[in-house]
């Protein structure tokens, strides 16, 4: 491990911008650092992993991380990077989201280490108790409208027809107050975040200087994009979430496995704790044998293990082999639907299984156009049921063949799959 945390982050391409002095601060002392995570959903998504893993990385260098759940700021809604105002959530919705997010943070941060344990805090604990007049008098006087409207997140929205509500406009004050509160009560000197947070972070640095005469710092990470220009963390079905209920471990594993060759090494640097020498070896492997996708396989393994654990990694890797003829035993309905989401499918009434032969099944579900074609396909060894070769055209299909009591998977040839959903 590089002895210098700042240089390590730079090597990994993680440093987008920073307040001068951060590089010396991280070498000179063990710093309390915070990163905020607004509770706009009941799960974080992989876009949150850049600052979250960086926070975990800084903890490994002996610094003191605070993951700040935005139970208070989510009541307002951050305009940064948004083309229109967010839908405001109720206090009950936000509290439920915060509870879920806190559990996910524990996958990355160490709360048990004695020297520098991580902490999860909730800014609702101080923001929701503020008195409006007192806040405006004591805090608002340190901000000028001129200064605020020159921040990129505000300027962008003001240029749009929808404009910017006063509610969102005040978000900058709330986030700056968070930094001031943590500086005063927790000795926090450094705030980190994505590059879209630069304006909010530097405003907090300035507020601390004005109110306390203190010196605080900010550092921001790049917003990740794909080599093809598309948005990182998005698929055709939407965001890739850390919650297994929102994005299954199989889908999560597949997202990383399908990484473009051009992105594989940068992602290994951003998201994993592999050493520089390990990553250089994988970089060489990509250059020499890109078809083996060794970097992508290691990336998918590391990320799935980190987020979902060893048992789910094993199942995800098993599921990934299914499309290459691997065993289907033990897969759940959700996993089967995930694996075969993009193949042709049909439904079959459960009572129809009585007396049904493989030839009948192939014909009724339109895997073949006729029973004659079905018999020939079986005799030629081209039909698999649940990835098991079928050799007898007269064999009966029964409820005992159902996967998780609901599915049959037919494969014709090497790659032509058909998913049959048996319904009551």
Q: What is the pLDDT confidence band of residue 159, given thresholds at 50, 70 and 90?
A: confident
Choose the catalytic residue: 40, 147, 167, 318: 40
Choose the catalytic residue: 10, 45, 142, 181: 45
User: Could you give the CA distance from residue 309 to residue 317 in angstroms, rounded to a whole number?
Assistant: 12
Do residue 177 and residue 207 come from a single domain?
A: yes
Instruction: Return the higher-pLDDT residue of 341 and 194.
Output: 194
Note if 181 is an active site residue. no
Do residue 67 and residue 187 come from a single domain?
A: yes
pLDDT at 313 over 70: yes
Within-domain flag for 229? no
Do residue 305 and residue 376 come from a single domain?
A: no
CATH number of the domain at 416, please: 3.10.290.10
Instruction: Return the higher-pLDDT residue of 40 and 161.
Output: 40
Note if 234 is an active site residue. yes
Do residue 45 and residue 167 come from a single domain?
A: yes
Note if 86 is an active site residue. yes
Q: What is the pLDDT of residues 356-402, one digit of tens each?
A: 999 999 999 999 999 999 999 999 999 999 999 999 999 999 999 99
Average pLDDT, the chain: 91
CA distances from 385 to 281, 325, 394 (A): 41, 11, 13
Note if 48 is an active site residue. yes
User: Could you give the CA distance from residue 14 to residue 266 in angstroms, rounded to a whole number?
Assistant: 10
Within-domain flag for 332? no
Do residue 251 and residue 286 come from a single domain?
A: yes
pLDDT at 308 over 90: yes
CATH number of the domain at 106, please: 3.40.50.620
Structural domain containing residue 283: 234-322
Within-domain flag for 227? no
Within-domain flag for 38? yes
Do residue 316 and residue 360 come from a single domain?
A: no
User: Could you give the CA distance from residue 118 to residue 58 in angstroms, rounded to a whole number?
Assistant: 11
Instruction: Return the higher-pLDDT residue of 182 and 108.
Output: 182
Residue 84 confidence (pLDDT)? 60
Do residue 172 and residue 205 come from a single domain?
A: yes
Choose the catalytic residue: 196, 263, 338, 401: 196
Within-domain flag for 330? no
Residue 257 confidence (pLDDT)? 95
Note if 231 is an active site residue. yes
Choose the catalytic residue: 142, 181, 210, 234: 234
Among the three residues 167, 200, 221, which one is the final residue of a domain in this structure? 221
Q: What is the pLDDT of residues 2-22, one digit of tens each?
A: 679 999 999 999 999 999 999
Residue 86 confidence (pLDDT)? 66
Note if 371 is an active site residue. no
Note if 114 is an active site residue. no
Choose the catalytic residue: 4, 10, 42, 82: 82
Residue 1 confidence (pLDDT)? 60
Count how many domains the chain has: 3
Q: Which residue's structure tokens are 């909010």? A: 200
Retrieve residue 122's tokens.
């909730």
Within-domain flag for 331? no
Choose the catalytic residue: 10, 86, 226, 406: 86
Note if 12 is an active site residue. no
Instruction: Return the higher-pLDDT residue of 78 and 54.
Output: 54
Choose the catalytic residue: 231, 366, 389, 415: 231
Residue 146 confidence (pLDDT)? 85
Note if 304 is an active site residue. no
Retrieve residue 21's tokens.
């002095």
Note if 215 is an active site residue. no
- Bin 373: left if φ > 0, else alpha if -120 < ψ < 50, else beta: alpha
The pTM score is: 0.85
């Amino acid at each position: 491990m590089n002895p210098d945390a700042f240089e390590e982050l730079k090597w990994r391409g993680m440093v987008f911008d920073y307040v001068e002095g951060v590089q010396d601060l991280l070498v000179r002392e063990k710093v309390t650092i915070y990163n905020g995570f607004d509770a706009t959903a009941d799960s974080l998504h992989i876009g949150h992993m850049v600052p979250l893993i960086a926070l975990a990385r800084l903890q490994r260098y002996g610094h003191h991380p605070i993951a700040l759940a935005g139970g208070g700021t989510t009541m307002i809604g951050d305009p940064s990077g948004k083309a229109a105002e967010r839908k405001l959530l109720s206090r009950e919705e936000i509290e439920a989201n915060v509870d879920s997010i806190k559990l996910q943070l524990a996958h990355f941060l160490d709360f048990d280490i004695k020297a520098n344990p991580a902490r999860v805090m909730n800014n609702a604990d101080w923001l929701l108790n503020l008195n409006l007049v007192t806040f405006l008098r004591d805090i608002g006087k340190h901000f000028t409208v001129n200064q605020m409207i020159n921040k990129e997140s505000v300027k962008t929205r003001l240029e749009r027809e929808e404009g910017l509500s006063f509610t969102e406009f005040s978000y900058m004050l709330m986030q700056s107050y968070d930094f001031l509160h943590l500086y005063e009560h927790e000795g926090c000197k450094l705030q980190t975040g994505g590059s879209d947070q630069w304006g909010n972070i530097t405003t907090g640095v300035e507020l601390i200087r004005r109110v306390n005469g203190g010196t605080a710092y900010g550092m921001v990470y790049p917003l990740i994009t794909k080599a093809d220009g598309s948005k990182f963390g998005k698929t055709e079905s939407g965001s890739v979430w850390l919650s297994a209920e929102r994005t299954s471990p199989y889908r999560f594993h597949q997202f990383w496995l399908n990484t473009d060759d051009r992105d594989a090494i940068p992602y290994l640097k951003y998201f994993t704790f592999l050493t520089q020498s390990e990553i250089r070896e994988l970089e060489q492997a990509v250059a020499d044998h890109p078809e083996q996708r060794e970097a992508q396989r290691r990336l998918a393994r590391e990320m799935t293990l980190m987020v979902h654990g060893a048992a789910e990694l094993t199942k995800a890797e098993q599921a990934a082999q299914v499309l290459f003829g691997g065993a289907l035993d033990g897969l759940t309905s959700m996993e089967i639907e995930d694996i075969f989401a993009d193949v042709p499918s049909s439904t079959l009434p459960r009572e129809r299984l009585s007396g049904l032969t493989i030839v009948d099944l192939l014909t009724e579900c339109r895997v073949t156009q006729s029973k004659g074609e079905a018999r020939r396909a079986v005799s030629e060894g081209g039909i698999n049921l649940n990835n098991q070769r079928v050799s007898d055209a007269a064999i009966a299909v029964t409820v005992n063949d159902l996967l998780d009591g609901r599915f049959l998977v037919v494969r014709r040839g090497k790659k032509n799959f058909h998913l049959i959903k048996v319904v009551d």
